[in-house]
Amino acid sequence: MNGGNFPATRWSVLEAARGNDAGQRALALETLCAAYWKPVYKYIRLKFAKSPEESQDLTQGFFAELLERQLLGQFDARKSRLRTFLRLCVDSFVLNEIKHGARQKRGGDVVHLALDFSGAESELHGQTIDPGLIASQERFEEFFEKEWIRSLLSEAVEDLKTLCAKRDKATAFALFEGYELAEDDEVSYAELAGRFGITAADVTNQLAWARREFRRLAQERLRSLCGSEEEFVREAKALFGGQG
């Protein structure tokens, strides 16, 4: 999924989602889904104690409803953050589905999104989260927030990977991956230099470039998913310490 298909306007995702063009609304759904489907899926799995199959169906159904009912038209950036609005919409949608009984069979014109649910399920198992330990609504909200951040940054990593491939900077991405994303936090620049057959100075320079581009790409995604400049500034400060 690639939010880069939108024009370079600040609020293009929300504008497209609220617009009259069905194609642009569908593209907006795709972009929002890229940022939110994993948090939504995991939130449903844990908060509502649904099976993987039920959670998959509910996740698909939620994003389809978001498009069909044009729910984003109800969003007011002056009253809440977009992700708070979406989480409340998820609560309403799932409770309504539970109220009306069994899973609905979705077909016809409903958009079916190609999502890596098995990967999300593996992440949940890897996180070893006990739903009983986050039983309060406040903790579920915190969980949703953290998963949203995780999803945003993961998409930004994929954006960086794509950018490096286009610019013939595969080594820069490999260094970023080997240093910033490595489970071993003891890896050194000297070790990376030896591994890739370059100088320590090259490691420093290429990592600096990759970090700058990663921050820029993450901020682009963040900006497109905020409802106002004020919200973007607050979110960017929280995520990146207010640095540009």
Q: Tally Cβ neighbours within 10 Å of residue 71.
A: 17
Cα–Cα distance for residue pair 215/15, rounded to 1 Å: 24
CA distances from residue 209 to 172, 173, 174, 196, 213 in whole angstroms, order as listed: 8, 10, 13, 17, 6
Q: Structure tokens of 126?
A: 């890897």
Number of Cβ within a 10 Å radius of residue 31: 24
Spell out the long-range contacts of 227-233 with Cβ–Cβ below 8 A and sequence spacing 24 or more. Answer: 227/11, 227/14, 227/75, 227/76, 227/77, 227/81, 227/82, 228/11, 228/77, 228/78, 229/10, 230/77, 231/77, 231/81, 231/82, 232/10
In the prediction, which pLDDT does 127 show? Answer: 67
Look up tokens 């990376």; give the residue: 192
For the chain, the structural domain boundaries read: 3-240
Number of C-beta neighbours around residue 166 at 10 A: 8
pLDDT score for 185: 77
pLDDT bin (cut points 50, 70, 90) of residue 3 is very low
Q: Does residue 57 have a pLDDT over 80?
A: yes
Alpha-carbon span 201 to 153, nearest angstrom: 27
Chain length of the chain? 244
> Does pLDDT of 141 surpass 60?
yes
Query: Which pLDDT score, from 0 to 100, does residue 104 have?
Result: 54
Give residue-wise pLDDT tens across range 60-84. 999 888 877 878 888 887 888 888 9
When pLDDT is cut at 50, 70 and 90, the band that residue 126 belongs to is low
pLDDT of residue 9: 38
What is the per-residue pLDDT for 2? Answer: 43
Quote the mean pLDDT of the chain. 83
For 151-200, the pLDDT digits (tens) are 999 999 999 999 999 999 999 999 999 999 987 778 999 999 999 999 99
